[in-house]
Amino acid sequence: MPLTLWIGLLLTLVAGLCSGSSMLPMKFARRWPWENTWLVFTVVSLAILPWALAITLLHDVVHVYAALPASAFIAPLVFGFGWGIAQVLFGLSIARLGMALGYAIIVGLGALLGTLVPLFVKNREIIATGRGALILSGVAIMVLGIAVSARAGKMREGSVNQSGSYAGALAIAVLCGLMAPMLNFAFAFGQGIAREAVRQGASAQAAGYAVWPIALLGGLIPNAAYACWLLSRNRTWKHFRSAWRPDVWFGCLMGVLWMGAFAVYGVSSVYLGILGTSVGWALFQIFMIITANLSGVLTGEWKSAPAAAKRGLWAGLALLAAATTMIAAGNR
C-alpha cells in the first residue's frame, strides 16, 4: 500500500483510540453530577479547542469565513445541531448501558449511515467496482461484528444490576445512533470551507480545522442548553464553586480526548484519499468500538459476565478486525 494510506490508517487508529476512551474519565467523576461534568466537557470540546486549533493552525480563519457565502455554513451548522442532540443522548446512554453496549449500538448505527451516505452521494461511481464490493462487504462484516458485540453486551447486562429500564435505554441508544453520523455529514458536506482555506494558503491536512468550529457550534447549542437546564432543575450549579476538585479535570480530559480524536480524523481523511470521509469514518468507528470494549473490560464491566457473553465480545472484536482489513484493502 502507498505510504499515504499507511499514514491515514495510523492516524485513524489514533483517532479511534482517543474517541473510544473519551468517555472513560466520566467513570471516575465521584463528586459532580452528570450535568456538571458534561457542561465542562461540552465547553472544552465544542467551543474552546476547535477555535484554538483553527486559530493556531490556519493563517486567518476569520478571513476564510468572510470570503464564503452564508450558504456554505448551512449544512455543517444544521448537521452539527442534529449531532448535538445525539451527543446528549449518547452521554445518557453510556451512563445507563455501559461503555461496551452503548458504543456498540450507537457507534454501530452511526458507522453504517456515516459510511454509506457520503459514499453513495459523493463517490457513487466506485460502488459498482471491485473496490466498492470489497468496501461494502467490509461494512456488512462491520455491522455483523457490532451486532455480535451488542448481543454480548445484552447478555452481560442480564448478569449485573443496572438502574432504569433496559428497553428505554436501548431506545435512546438507537435514536442516538441514527443521528450520530450527522457530525460526519457536517464535515463531509462542509468541505467548501476547507477548500477556501486551501485557496488562501492552508495545507490540505490543516484545512479541515476550518470546518470544525462551524460544525461544532451547531452541536454546542443543544449540549450546553441541556446541561444548563439540568443544572437549574437539579440545583447543581453550586458544585462549580469548588471548581478545582478532580472532577473538573476529568471533564477537561474528556474534551481533550474527544476533540483530539476528531482533529486527527480530519487529517487522516485527507491521507485516505477521495473516500476519506466514508472509508475513513468506517475505520474510525471500528477502532473506536474496539477501544471502548477493551476499556469496558479493563474497568471491570465484564468481570461478572457469563462465559458466553465474553466469547461473544471477543468474536465481535475479531469480526471488526476482519472488517478493518477489508475496508482498508478496498481503499487502496
* Count: domains in the chain: 1
Question: How much of the chain is in helix, strand and coil states, percent to nearest 5?
Answer: 85, 0, 15
pLDDT tens per residue across span 152-175 = 877 876 654 444 566 777 788 888
Name which residue leads in pLDDT, 155 or 215.
Answer: 215
With b for 16 or more beta-carbon neighbours within 10 A and e for fewer, the 85-104 pattern comes to bbbbbbbbbbbbbbbbbbbb
pLDDT tens per residue across span 245-295 = 778 889 999 999 999 998 898 888 888 877 677 777 788 878 887 887 787
- 316 vs 152: CA distance, rounded Å: 8
- 181 vs 280: CA distance, rounded Å: 13
- Residue 325: how many other CB atoms lie within 10 Å: 12
Contact 323, 141 (CB under 8 A): yes
- Could you list the residue range(s) of the whole structural domain that residue 164 is in? 3-330
Rounded to a whole number of angstroms, the CA Rg of the chain reads: 19
Look up residue 151 and give its amino acid: R
Pull the grid cell for residue 49.
479547542
> How high is the pLDDT of residue 50?
95
- 59 vs 50: CA distance, rounded Å: 15
Chain Cα centroid distance, residue 126: 25
| pTM tops 0.85 | no
- 308 vs 316: CA distance, rounded Å: 12
Give whole-number Cα distances, 105 to 98, 151, 266, in Å. Answer: 11, 10, 23
Contact 28, 250 (CB under 8 A): yes
Q: Which residue has the cell 474519565?
A: 25
For 15-19, 156-160, 199-203, 220-224, which range has the lowest pLDDT when averaged over its residues?
A: 156-160
